[in-house]
Amino acid sequence: MKFKFSILALLLEVAIIIMFGLYVEYNSSDAAQDALYPYFQDVHVMIFVGFGFLMTFLKKYGFSSVGINMLIAALGLQWGTLMQGFWHGKGRTIDINIKSMINADFSTAAALISFGALLGKTSPVQMLILTILEITLFACNEHLVTEVFEATDVGASMTIHAFGAYFGLAVALVLYRPGLKNKHENEESTYHSDIFAMIGTLFLWLFWPSFNSAIAYDQNYRTIAIVNTYYSLAACTVVTFALSSLVDERGKFSMVLIQNATLAGGVAIGTCADMPIYPFAAMCIGSFAAIVSVLGFKFLTPFMASKLHIQDTCGVHNLHGLPGILGGIAGIIATSIKNENRPAVHLTPLMQAAALGSTIGIALAGGLFTGAILKLPFLGQASDENCFDDSVYWEVPEEMNLPEIPPNNRDGHRSETMM
């Protein structure tokens, strides 16, 4: 991978810097945007700490989870600035301010969700290519949804979560690895890797109200989005705990559910977060998202892997895909019940449905196309047995590179192979 990765990364960075030199300027004319800085920082933490640590649950893939997450996001926010700027820009220049930085961070989230579906099975070179392609299509779809359909999606249930999930699942379908049909021995967590993942869960959970409100129209809408998201997540969490115990034969909680399904309420409330649907409705949406997400992890992910040949490492379908669709549907319902008018925008259920449909369509088509490119032989995928293993791409401390313990020694000492 040595030269391929380095050369591609450097070429991309040089090209981006040149484009920044040609097009990008400061825009400090809208001083009201400066008050968004705390919201930006919350989103920023979600992207790098939240997504990064959420994926550290795998026992031998923590370096890649948090490291490649950082790489994708750092590249993606630059590319996203350009892609969103080309659509939103007035005249020849792309104007940068706090709000455009929030949107740049947002655009990386779609790629990071797709990364979750593919975690452990792709190379850094592949992820560079995916990041560029996905964010390009993401910006097109976002333009379509917000400018053409004039739909609302303040928390991006559709444009980020559903888009990122179905894009990633389509790539996973193309890159299907029959050799991973039986569970890979590295595809599991350790006690401490599960606690690391909770760092990601909690920072996502805590700052989700900022994510869903950051680009709201004004402070009034913003406060409603904060309140709705806060209570949706709280209800989602209690229901997730209840169901996690209920679906387990011994009644025990499952870390994978607590780490993921507790967040589904943030995804599902996204589209109508800034609508005055009342907190109890937000809590219903959050509770329903928990149900969908828990059942998805328990039953749908294994089914998709074995029958549909879609291997979804982190279960992004259950955290982002289904709750994202749920959010889109909630938006359709909310706009059909309330005849809500925004400044300069008239929301209709038809346009909300068009937004949902276009998002999933573009995500699936784009994912299949991207998957086909990532499959090109010279990109050099890792073999099945090297999946979920940092040591393929990282220098890892010695303790992880130990020779396997001879079988006659295993019974008494199983733990030492682990950490």
Q: How far apart are CA 306 and CA 326, in angstroms?
A: 25
The residue among 144 and 256 lying less far from a copy of itself, judged by its C-beta, is: 256
Burial readout 251-286 (b: 16 or more C-beta within 10 A, e: otherwise): eeebbbbbbbbbbbbbbbbbbbbbbebebebbbebb
DSSP letter at 187 equals S
**Shortest CB 368 distance to a copy of itself, Å:** 27
* Minimum CB distance to a copy of itself, residue 71 (Å): 5
Token pair for residue 272? 């109508």
Q: Looking at beta carbons only, is 284 or 368 nearer to a copy of itself?
A: 284
Q: Residue 66 or 304: which CB sits closer to a copy of itself?
A: 66
For residue 3, give every residue at least 6 positions away whose Cβ sits within 8 Å of its Cβ, in sequence order, or none: none
CA distance 44 to 103: 11
When the beta carbons of 286 and 321 are compared against a copy of itself, the nearer one is: 286
Tokens linked to 405: 């313990």
Q: How far is the CB of 340 from a copy of itself (least distance, A)?
A: 14
Whose Cβ is closer to a copy of itself: residue 279's or residue 349's? 279
Distance in angstroms (rounded) separating the CA atoms of residues 339 and 31: 32
User: C-beta of 185: minimal distance to a copy of itself in Å?
Assistant: 11
Q: Which of residues 377 and 411 has its CB atom nearest to a copy of itself in the complex?
A: 411
Q: Is 94 helix (H, G, I), strand (E, B) or coil?
A: strand
Identify the residue whose tokens are 């590295």.
Answer: 186
Q: Which two tokens stand for residue 292?
A: 């969908």
Is 81 or 114 the residue whose CB approaches a copy of itself more closely? 81
Least distance (Å) between residue 129 CB and a copy of itself: 14
Question: Are 258 and 241 a contacting pair, CB within 8 Å?
Answer: yes
CB 300 within 8 A of CB 181: no
Q: Measured from the CB atom, is 138 or 166 closer to a copy of itself?
A: 138
What's the token pair of residue 82?
């350009």
Helices (H), 24-61: 37-45, 51-54
The runs of H, that is alpha helices, within 176-218 are: 191-213
The rounded distance, in Å, linking the Cα atoms of 336 and 333 is 5
Q: How far is the CB of 92 from a copy of itself (least distance, A)?
A: 15
Residue position matching structure tokens 């999606």: 153
Which is nearer to a copy of itself, 234 or 379 (by Cβ)?
234
Strand partners, 326: none
Please say whether the beta carbons of 149 and 354 come within 8 A.
yes
CB of 124 to a copy of itself, least distance (A): 8
Q: Are 233 and 286 in contact (CB under 8 A)?
A: yes
CB of 317 to a copy of itself, least distance (A): 21
CB of 138 to a copy of itself, least distance (A): 17
